[in-house]
A and B are shown apart, each in its own frame.
Chain A
Amino acid sequence: GQSLEQPSEVTAVEGAIVQINCTYQTSGFYGLSWYQQHDGGAPTFLSYNALDGLEETGRFSSFLSRSDSYGYLLLQELQMKDSASYFCAVRGRNTGFQKLVFGTGTRLLVSP
């Protein structure tokens, strides 16, 4: 099957930089996605990596190393509104290309 591991909680202060790691196990890897979810809200798409390297989108960047089955989400210039849960998610061949399986989630707490 598929499994993804993330730290359960990360804390940081406004203006800081934080990195949320994700390690995964899957057969036939297609890509790693990142989603943000505020309490009581829907997950929103942040980024997607299919190939090794860094993808940058504004204050957020995502990195992937397929050989290490590892990725991370980098959040820069943290703002209070970034306090949320962040999930990595993968698609794998063993469960069918269509399905997106989520990691355990990392709760980010940004303090003043």
Chain B
Amino acid sequence: GAVVSQHPSWVICKSGTSVKIECRSLDFQATTMFWYRQFPKQSLMLMATSNEGSKATYEQGVEKDKFLINHASLTLSTLTVTSAHPEDSSFYICSARESENIQYFGAGTRLSVL
């Protein structure tokens, strides 16, 4: 199946710093990518929809200035967690839509903010 690469897989940072997470679709072009957040033993919560060449659409309750999304090309979307705090510690997963029915997911990024 198609591959979505997410990097880094794990990051530890100090409170107040910013962290960038990259999501790449390796063998298909994705005009739409998605960013999810998942807490332990919970479901995936959609944070935002990233559209190539336009502004991301954020879900209710997600701060767009806190979670900056850029989708500059058909194969790359980035999520930047700005001024990270311990409550931002979570598992962040990106996804790229290959077709109408199928989304492929990255391996996720585990963020720990000290």
**Contacts A43-B93, A45-B1, A99-B49; A105 near B101 (Cβ below 8 A):** no
Number of A-B contacts (CB under 8 A): 52
Q: Are B43 and A103 in contact (CB under 8 A)?
A: yes
**Contacts A102-B43, A102-B44; A45 near B106 (Cβ below 8 A):** no
A41-87 interface with B by 8 A CB criterion: 41-45, 48, 50, 87
What separation, in Å, do the CA atoms of A97 and B57 have in the docked complex? 13
Residues of B near A50 (CB, < 8 A) are 101
Contact of B107 among A41, A87, A96, A107 (CB under 8 A): A41
Residues of A near B6 (CB, < 8 A) are 42
B46 at the interface (CB under 8 A from A): yes
Residues of B near A33 (CB, < 8 A) are 101-103
A108 at the interface (CB under 8 A from B): no
Q: Are A43 and B44 in contact (CB under 8 A)?
A: yes
Listed in ascending order, the chain B residues whose CB lies under 8 Å from chain A are 1, 6, 32, 34, 36, 41-46, 49, 57, 93, 95, 97, 101-108, 110
6 contacts between A and B (CB under 8 A): A33-B101, A33-B102, A99-B34, A99-B49, A101-B46, A107-B41
